[in-house]
Chains A and B, each alone.
Chain A
Amino acid sequence: MIGNFGALNRANGELTASGLYDPALEHDSCGVGFIAKLDGVATHQIIRDSITVLVNLEHRGALGGDKSTGDGAGIMMQIPDTFLRQETADSGIVLPRVGDYAVGMLFLPANNSLAANCRNIFEKIVADEGCEIFGWRPVPVDPVSIGEQARKTMPAIEQVFIDRAKISAGAFERKLYVIRRLTEKQVAELPADTSQFYIVSLSVHRLVYKGLLTANQLPNFYPDLADERFISRFGVIHQRYSTNTLPTWNLAQPFRFIAHNGEINTLSGNINRMRTREFNLQSPLFGDDIEKIKPIIVGSGSDSAIFDNVLELLVLSGRSLPHAMMMMVPEAYGPKIQMSEDKRAFYDFHSSIMEPWDGPAAIVFCDERYLGGILDRNGLRPARYTITSDGLVVLASETGVLDIPPEKIIKRSRLSPGKMLLADFNQNRVVPDKEIKAKISRQKPYRRWIKDNIITLRGLFNPSSAPSENDEILLQKQHAFGYTAEELKMLISPMASRSQEPVGAMGNDTPLAILSDRPQLLFNYFKQRFAQVTNPPIDPLREELVMSLETFAGGEGNLLEETPENFRGFRFSHPVLTPDDLLRIEQANHPSIKVAYLDILFERNGGPQALEQALDNLFEAAAKCIADGATLLILTDRNINAGQVPVPSLLAVSGLHHFLVRQGLRNRASLIVDSGEVREVMHFTLLVGYGADAICPYLAFYTVRNLALNGLLEQDLKPEEAVDSYIIAVKKGFLKTMSRLGISTLHSFFAAQTFETIGISQEVIDRYFTDTINRLGGLDLADIRNEAVLRHSAGFPLTGNVRNLLDTGGEYSLRADGPRHGWNPSAIAKLQTATRADDYEIFKDYVRIVNESDATPPTIRKLLTFKARPPVPIDEVEPVESIQKRFAASAMSFGSISPEAHRTIAIAMNRLGARSNSGEGGEDPQRVTVLPNGDCANSKVKQVASGRFGVTPAYLISAEELQIKIAQGAKPGEGGQLPGHKVTDEIARVRNTTPGVTLISPPPHHDIYSIEDLSQLIFDLKCVNPTAKISVKLVSESGVGTIAAGVAKAKADLVLISGYEGGTGAAPLTSIKHTGIPWEIGLAETHQTLIFNKLRDKVRVQVDGQLKTGRDLAVAALLGAEEFGFATAILITLGCVMLRKCHLNSCAVGVATQDPRLRVNFQGRPEYIERFFRFLAQDFREVMSELGFRTVAEMVGRSDILAYQPPADSGKSAKFDLNPLINAMTNTTAVCGISRSEKVAAFDDELIRLTAPAVERKEPVALDLDIRNTYRTVGARLSGEIVKKYGAAGLPDDTIRINFRGSAGQSFGAFLAPGISLKIEGDTNDYLGKSMSGGRVVLVPPPNSAFAPHENVICGNVVLYGATGGEVFINGKAGERFAIRNSGALAVVEGIGSHGCEYMTGGVVVVIGSTGSNFAAGMSGGIAYIYDETQLFDTKCNLDMVDLESVWDKKDKLFLHSILEKHWRFTKSPHTRAILDKWDSNLPLFVKVIPIDYRKSLERMKLSEHTDVETVSATEEVFNG
């Protein structure tokens, strides 16, 4: 690879892993759809329409580095019999009648002889399996029109025709599957590079044409598709967007059964569990053939391909396609969901044999009979459909992809979460979701089967017992399992006291476990992975109804069979067991439950091999127990004693799990861990993630009890209550950990290994943690043993005297006898003195302390050394002033830090010509004004985060850079919450919310569920502010490079890689310590991946995370960063002394508090920051001079200058290997990112021209225009122009009036400014009115449409996200998450999907129709009125934060009436007219939803306004409330 990064490793364009770049970590996402004619008559029009749909979804795909290669597009259709019959006739092939022959579509190696080899293998297998080949047909292609990279990797494309011969018609499709698997396996064994070989489709019914193409290229590339004889009754289409630029032909979609838009979050768990099931697979339909298809999952597939593999197995082994889809993509069926009991039983039963394949997924599926689409339980992907009076069904990621005369439309709707749309060609009709599911749910007596075979552990509903332990023995065991006093105080006590995960602040500055000089629990060598961009995290609190921690214990049966005994065992509502529960399990007295205890201990004096020996013995013993019929294996370390050391529980469980998987025994028994080691959330999640079915943390329970008895909890609790509280905290921790990954159920999280390791040897990983991401080497088994023995000897010292105090700890707060911290007293004191006294000499003392001192911990950057190069004189090095331009203050909102601190940072950064960052939460518009002394407190970088607080057009155009925060270092994959007491008047004003009302930032951006969504948001932002650079903030983890590549392809200008160490805000301690990885690894991977993908010159790379000295900057630059972000160091110059109390509002130095009593203590000054950066740049210059670099630009990516010398003296860290960070890119002269300068073109450019009189002179303008879904983000740029000219107040109402006809694209009316009124006759896609700040959007169906507006969906998901003003009137239904995080807009709509008004903080929403479930989750402000004819609304409303009332107040009644009148005026909605006409009888059916805190705040505000005026009498409120 060296020196030639354009080279492709394999013929198909796949790269093999090199350095830190690993193609296995790629993601994709896309646009998807289908068209079907229900009468079943095949026409060529269907093909043409399918291609039209595909082309109209093209903006959802992406282009590669060469700007012309698409990421993939394709179409699946019926086999066009006539066409093929006639085409093959010339070559003498006579095809038998339809159904008796199959067509294979094959990609063959471009190399002729290799292709011949492949063909031979295929032919031989066909013959061996009892079929015959008629012949081959080279598929005509036109490679001229396709991209360069696509052409380079283009395979030979041929069709093959197969006679079923002696195989029966019913078994033919199955046999084709066997043939395909056998061929795939044999070809893979050829010694040559056969990566191009791929069987696109091989079926009696279906044919797939696809390739590494764009939608437009597809019909040109395959001339067949244009042939009139090419007919089908359906077409399934797909347009791909991959995160890297070297996608392959094979990974284009559709696959054989599905096309998928989204991402399977749970993939690793699904793959691992399928592997465990493979051994047990048996099917009468397959018979002996079953062995031929194994392994079921084909190695190099994408998530969608793997899903397809498993679905294929389920369908071909006899389940119907909808049944199989219900198994793999179950809807949420938790207790909060209203559902038929039989359907619940169906899901219950199947959950014990198949875990959900969850993720933001819209999947289109198809076999000979059915064609359908399904959405996962979270419903995060859009899927809109239209049914016409002449029997056409069109489903696609967007509406408006096919022009259909309005009068023919009889239904417009959308798929809702977990629901299915199914066309049945046997019945020639669409089967409703309820009907098909009811039928399948009753095909077997699932309800009875469950009752008979699954025992629900009743004990879990009893109060947990709190077992006691003698104080001395407790202390001894705590010593032996490495407990520290700090853990008791910081972790266990908050969990037991408040049922909460403990929270901390100011990041993590202790060394990685592998670099620590003290023994570490094995858990600490693992880091949690998390979702960013390609899949969204979940909000487990507000969207709890989709989550489940249920787990099963017992033996599992054969996946391919449905029998009552398929699963027999226990059902636990969560995986945490008390010792009492264990007892109950033991005494269960059930024939199929047999418990076996296995000690996980090794001999202390057994020598270095003792651990390995103990593991081998454990595995053997377990296998024997299973052979003897055990179904529950309890791994216990309770029998610890002076001679017996506990095996790290994670090693024991994961090692055994993998052993049993390899032996094919895993499904026959469940593993329960009974260990004293387990106490933190991270420990529990790791154990389940590596194969524990349940866990009993006995020592943690003893400890909790002891704390409760000694009054050491934060409040007085009985031991039993404390234990319960602790369990609840662990459960919440599970939910949070899963949510970070976007996983909803523990079934999918189980054994999914959603972790990566830092500091474990590959040998240990391969053997005991197989397939875990692990790249830098480290501990071997002997080291693990040594650390275990060291811990053990604290509890069982040779002297016999156990210390009376636990180790103090010092991980979270510094302790002199604990681990070293990056920020220590002397470093802080020196930095503060240096910047206050303006003394560079003192700054150099600080630099020495940080770089060289033994007092600071080893970090990866410290271990990397520089190779000697001829120095250059320092005066030839670029000046301080130019280096400073590369500096940025990292995002810190002024909700988290005080307004004084926030302003001071902005002023300082502006003085330096560097950039400060507003952080999430807006910024006071006043700050744009230049101060009399020439200073300006406007942050050049404005952040756009998931809460969208204060994101208005004015805010966005005041920025030079707009930063989309995908994740933050301290807590990637999580949202945030600003508690009400911190929401001051000032904060509320800037965030457009109400003082005192809690503000919630959701974990995901609700307009970024995938990479193409990110691309859309970037487009939105570039529309509203065409001159701003767009940056995307990511957090370092394995695979971040691939995401960065996707970000670059989404046309971002800058990507920020944030290290896990950094983070100034409040975050759960689990997140601070255990999620994310150091920036060095993520940065190196990002740089390498961008180079590999030829994208490095398209995007700038910034890094942050505890950067402190010029040396740090040098390492960062050499690893690939050209800009540098800082937060903690800035705060320290401003007076921060690392109290780590940011989350408590009690910062005594006035930096991170809103308390006016403490803010007076703030003594920071802009000069301190200026000096810090001047000194830092100077220090950097000195390093540059020493290394012989004159400019930073020359340094970027020169990792060949770095060297790694493992520390010589220390044991375990000597095995740590950092060479992958620096080797792969040797000698490249990486091109520094050049900012994109081109302004993206948008439809608004035309609008701005047409509305010039209004924009320039405020003259009214009215326009009539056509629109279609490919016109995206209409209104945003126009709004930006207006706000730029007239300020946030915009233009007078209705100055610009535009009537559109057609289907609007995504983000219609986004960022709309006052004075613009948009009306649309037709329908719209997602993100209508996103962040609108004024103006009006009216949406009505076309005047001549055939359907009743209020029964049809004419508007997409996520309407009014983050809106701060304006009005929306919709004469029809909208999708999910209507008015999410709305803080000021008024909206009327005639029906909505789930999660309506989620996180809303202000504004008014009126729904005159049904709502989906979970309405008002996290709604802290604003008011909603629901017209509730069924009076069942309260069952759909999330009542955690809101009250429901009738509309009784006179003012309220009038207000509501006036809104509806207005709605009628704008839309002429017949439904509204009907309601208004009988107002007196309809008014009582309205329910008013008002957040509890919001009402209090409103009352408070009212009271303060009119302290002497009696408002509403309290009694009246009580009566009516």
Chain B
Amino acid sequence: MAKDPGFLKYKRHNPTKVAPADRIRNFKEFEIPLNESGLANQAMRCMDCGIPFCHAAGCPLVNHIPDWNSMVYHAHWQKALALLHATNNFPEFTGRICPAPCEYACTLAIHDSPVTIRHLELQIVEKGWHAGWIKPQIIPNKTGKKIAVIGSGPSGLAAAQQLIRAGHAVVVFEKRDRIGGLLRYGVPDFKLDKAVIDRRLAQMEAEGVVFEPGVDVGRDISPRYLKRTYDAIVIATGTTVARDLAIPGRQLAGIHLAMDYLIQQNQINAGYVISPEQIITAKDKDVIVLGGGDTGSDCVGTAHRQGAKSIAQVEILPQPPGSRTLYNAWPAWPQILMTSSSHEEGCERLFGLSAKSFEGTDNVRQVTFARLEWTEPDKNGARTSREIAGSQFCLKADLVLLAFGFLHVEHGNLVHELGIVTDSRGNIVVDQHYVTSEAKFFATGDAVSGASLIVKAIYNGRQVAAAVDNFLSGS
């Protein structure tokens, strides 16, 4: 009766990582999993709260976190896996790259450290793969309906898997030559080994999903053709148009969009041959990453692995506080200074700086910045800035990577030809049933919401699948 609860017996124990000096020698994943009893102890820290904020407020996928924690604690890994898969098609992706808002919403995070939810999730699914529990789920009774999914990022893949399991025929079109979208091309290998994707794609193929890489809808095949041929089409093309920075010197060589840089490294790792003149490398260079977000962080980690001489990451906003503020209270996503694994590997982090110009002859040589003075945020977190007069200074740079995020979905033929309506920010407009302005065309993921988290992409992929299924079974 008077037993101590798990969180008083065990402290949070993070999985260890390969030391930075060692891990930057290659592009391999570097997290070292906890052993089984360690995992059970961590799972036991879960309080199984009356309101599990992790599940109901933190996780966009509404993963049943307390339930699978309990199953891990009881060593019912297979049941844990089933619970995990019930809300999440790809825990092995989210377990690696989700920023885990669930952990910030964990009730233990108020006064203690949260449960290691993300790591538990990852270990549940990895155990499932190793034990061979994750098998294709083949649906014998087919509905005879055909669905095209355009885009093979997490949202498109989740939609495809849900739809094939609802008994429909599904074809996934991908513009690039391999399936996986941002997962394959955007996320560095040291965060997500691409074999992890292939493993899941094999399952989906076995379930009957047909993958058509190298097909750019709107260029290679016409949207109208799709409309004629398929019972429903799901647009899951993401937001690939990156935000650029129009300041003097932008045309200089050595200034690249972050995504171009990251994709190329992933291609090299995958064995693509890139011509030397096209190669973007940080080796022996002074690197400046503009943009303080996750993509910026990925650039930092990649630059380390390429052998950069120095790396600075520059953020226009001021340095966030070390702890939560009154209006940024638990369980919301914390607006505090976060240190990513790439930062652990070393990097100068600069805040409150606005890039004014790039200087150099052919190649960029330096960047001029001005310091900004920011107002305190209002209760919605909004603030304004003012440049401090006379604060300009220069930083040396041979390679500048622009990681300012993404604007919206590509407004290419797919959108234009059909005249699919977009909103003021350029994202596709859908109704509550995920239907675009064009009948039979659904849209989901970043293409609708703008750039967001992988968990939201998967969630929306599942939602759109349910909407499509509903639409097809209703008609």
- B323-342 to A contact mask, C-beta < 8 Å, 1/0: 00011011110000000000
Per-position binary interface string of chain A over residues 462-497, scored 1 when its CB falls under 8 Å from any chain B CB and 0 otherwise: 000000000000000000000001000100000000
B52 with A813: CB separation less than 8 A: yes
Task: Give every chain A residue within 8 A of B67 (Cβ-Cβ).
Answer: 485, 808
Asked whether, in the complex, the Cβ of B329 is within 8 Å of the Cβ of A829, the reply is yes
Task: Kindly state the separation between the CA atoms of A1138 and B50 in the bound complex, as whole angstroms.
Answer: 6
Report if B36 contacts A (CB, 8 A): no
Q: Is the CB of B47 within 8 A of A826?
A: no
User: Residues of A within 8 Å of B, CB-based: how many?
Assistant: 51
The 8 Å CB contact of B111, one of A815, A1145, A1148, is: A1148
For A799, the chain B residues whose CB sits under 8 A away are: 141, 167
Contact of B70 among A489, A804, A824, A1144 (CB under 8 A): A489
User: Max chain A CB contacts within 10 Å: which of B1, B8, B76?
Assistant: B1
Contact B49 A1138 (CB under 8 A): yes
What separation, in Å, do the CA atoms of A506 and B5 have in the docked complex? 19
Interface hit among B17-25, B56-64, B184-192, B354-362 = B56-64
Q: Is A1148 a contact partner of B56 (Cβ separation < 8 A)? A: no
**Given the complex of chains A and B, what is the CA–CA distance between A1138 and B330 in angstroms?**
14
B56 touches A815 (CB 8 A): yes
Contact A506 B329 (CB under 8 A): no
Residue of A nearest to B330 (CB): A829
> A815's contact among B7, B64, B167, by CB below 8 Å, is which?
B64
A89 CA / B291 CA spacing, docked (Å): 118
B62 near A1161 with CB under 8 A, answer: no
**Partner among B66, B83, B141, B331 whose Cβ is within 8 Å of the Cβ of A829:** B331
**Whole-angstrom distance between the alpha carbons of A1406 and B64 in the complex?**
59
Q: Is the CB of B331 within 8 A of A979?
A: no
B327: which of A816, A817, A837 is its contact (CB, 8 Å)?
A837
CB pair B110 A824 closer than 8 Å = no
Tell me if B82 counts as interface (CB < 8 A to partner A): yes
Interface residue B2 (Cβ < 8 Å from any Cβ of A): yes
A861 within 8 A of B: no
CB distance from A722 to the nearest CB of B (A): 15
Contact check, A1137 vs B326: say whether CB atoms are below 8 A apart: no
A1140 vs B51: C-alpha distance when bound (angstroms): 8
CB-based contact A829/B57 at 8 Å: yes
Q: How far is the CB of A801 from chain B (nearest CB, A)?
A: 8
B51 touches A710 (CB 8 A): no
Among B76, B82, B111, contact of A1149 (Cβ-Cβ < 8 Å): B111
Q: Which residue on A lies nearest to B167, using beta carbons?
A: A799
Q: Specify the chain A residue showing the minimal Cβ separation from B7.
A: A1148
Residues 91-124 (chain B) with a chain A CB within 8 angstroms: 105, 107-108, 110-112
A1141 CA / B82 CA spacing, docked (Å):
27
Contacts of A839 in B (CB 8 A): 379
A842 pairs with B47, CB closer than 8 A = no
**Quick check: is B441 within 8 A (CB to CB) of the other chain?**
no
Type the 1/0 row for A493-523, where 1 means its CB is closer than 8 Å to any CB of B: 0000000000001100000000000000000
| Pair B50/A712 contact, Cβ less than 8 Å | no
Q: Is A97 an interface residue (CB 8 A)?
A: no
Q: Is the CB of B55 within 8 A of A1161?
A: no
- Contact status B8-A1139, CB under 8 Å: no
Residue of B nearest to A826 (CB): B57
Q: A805-B82, A808-B64, A813-B52 are in contact. Are A833 and B111 (CB under 8 A)?
A: no
**Complex interface: chain A residues within 8 A of B5 (CB):** 1141, 1144, 1146, 1148
A1502 interfacial by beta-carbon distance below 8 Å: no
Query: Given that A813-B49, A815-B55, A979-B1 are known contacts, is A1137 also in contact with B110, CB under 8 Å in the complex?
Result: yes
Contacting B50 at CB < 8 Å: which of A817, A826, A1141? A1141
Query: Which one of B1, B141, B326 contacts A833 once the chains associate, using CB atoms below 8 Å?
Result: B326
Q: A813-B50, A821-B51, A1137-B51 are in contact. Are A804 and B62 (CB under 8 A)?
A: no
Specify which of A816, A1149, A1161 is in contact with B56 (CB 8 Å cutoff).
A816
Q: Check: A800 CB closer than 8 A to any chain B CB.
A: yes
A485 to B49, CA, bound (A): 16
Q: Considering only CB atoms, which chain B residue lies closest to A808 in the complex?
A: B64
Nearest CB on B from A857, distance (A): 14
Q: Are A1148 and B329 in contact (CB-based, < 8 A)?
A: no
Are B8 and A813 within 8 A (Cβ)? no
Write the nearest CB–CB distance from B86 to chain A, whole angstroms: 6
Contact A1139 B49 (CB under 8 A): yes
A145 and B241 CA atoms in complex are apart in Å by: 97
- Cβ of A1420 < 8 Å from any Cβ of B? no
Assembled-state Cα–Cα distance A826/B86 (Å): 24
Which chain B positions have C-beta within 8 A of A842? 379
Interface: A812 (CB within 8 A):
yes
B70 close to A829 (CB less than 8 A)? no
Could you tell me the distance in whole angstroms from the C-beta of B7 to the nearest C-beta in chain A? 7
Within the complex, what minimum Cβ distance (angstroms) separates A508 from chain B? 11
Q: Which A residues lie within 8 Å of B74 (CB)?
A: 711-712
Tell me whether B82 and A804 are in contact (CB under 8 A). yes
Q: Which chain B positions have C-beta within 8 A of A1155?
A: 8
**Residue in B48, B56, B70 with the greatest tally of chain A CB atoms within 10 Å:** B56
Interface status of B53 (Cβ within 8 A of chain A): yes
- Would you call A814 and B379 a contact (CB within 8 A)? no
Query: Do the beta carbons of B62 and A1146 come within 8 Å of each other?
Result: no
* Bound CA span A415–B358, Å: 104
A823 partner, pick from B47, B51, B66, B108, beta carbons under 8 A: B51
**Considering the chains assembled together, what is the distance between the CA atoms of A1158 and B5 in angstroms?**
11
Q: Hey, which chain A residues are within 8 Å of B331, CB to CB?
A: 825, 829
* A1135 cross-chain contacts in B, Cβ below 8 A: 110
- Among B7, B51, B111, B141, the residue within 8 A (CB) of A813 is B51
Choice from B108, B141, B330 contacting A1148 with Cβ under 8 Å: B108
User: Is there a chain B Cβ closer than 8 Å to A242's Cβ?
Assistant: no
> Is the CB of A981 closer than 8 A to any CB of chain B?
yes
User: How far, in angstroms, from A823 to B52 measured CA to CA in the complex?
Assistant: 12
The answer, yes or no, to whether A1324 is at the interface (CB within 8 Å) is no
A709 to chain B, nearest CB (A): 12
CB contact list, A823-851 vs B, under 8 A = 823-826, 828-829, 832-833, 836-837, 839, 841-842
* Contact A979 B53, beta carbon cutoff 8 Å: no
A1257 at the interface (CB under 8 A from B): no
Whole-angstrom CA separation of A805 from B76 in the bound complex? 14
Contact partner, B49, options A801, A808, A1137, A1145, Cβ 8 Å: A1137
Q: A813 to B66, Cβ gap below 8 A?
A: yes
Q: Given A799-B141, A813-B50, A814-B50, check contact A805 B83 (CB 8 Å).
A: yes
Kindly state the separation between the CA atoms of A1062 and B2 in the bound complex, as whole angstroms: 26
Q: Which of chain B's residues 58-91 have a Cβ closer than 8 Å to chain A?
A: 62, 64, 66-67, 70, 74-76, 82-83, 86
Q: Report if A1140-B49 is in contact (Cβ < 8 Å); known contacts: A815-B64, A1148-B112, A1149-B111.
A: yes
Q: Are A813 and B48 in contact (CB under 8 A)?
A: yes
* Given A823-B51, A1139-B107, A836 and B326 contact (CB-CB distance below 8 Å): yes
Q: Which residue of B lies closest to A825 (CB)?
A: B57
Q: Is the CB of B327 within 8 A of A1141?
A: no
Chain A residue at minimum C-beta to C-beta distance from B57: A825
B55 in complex: contacting residue of A805, A816, A823, A841, CB < 8 Å: A816
Q: Apart from A1148-B107, A1149-B111, what are 18 other A-B pairs with CB-CB below 8 Å?
A: A805-B83, A805-B86, A808-B64, A813-B50, A815-B52, A815-B56, A815-B64, A816-B55, A824-B51, A824-B56, A837-B379, A979-B2, A981-B2, A1137-B49, A1138-B49, A1148-B5, A1148-B108, A1158-B8
Which 5 pairs show the lowest CB-CB distances between chains A and B?
Answer: A1140-B50, A825-B57, A816-B62, A1146-B5, A981-B2
- The 26 listed contacts between A and B (C-beta, < 8 Å) are A489-B70, A711-B75, A800-B141, A805-B82, A813-B51, A813-B52, A814-B56, A815-B52, A824-B51, A825-B51, A825-B56, A828-B51, A829-B329, A829-B330, A833-B327, A837-B326, A842-B379, A979-B1, A1137-B49, A1137-B110, A1139-B50, A1139-B51, A1148-B47, A1148-B112, A1149-B110, A1155-B8
Q: Which residues of A contact B (CB under 8 A)?
A: 485, 489, 505-506, 710-712, 799-801, 804-805, 808, 812-817, 821, 823-826, 828-829, 832-833, 836-837, 839, 841-842, 979, 981, 1135, 1137-1141, 1144-1146, 1148-1150, 1155, 1157-1158, 1161
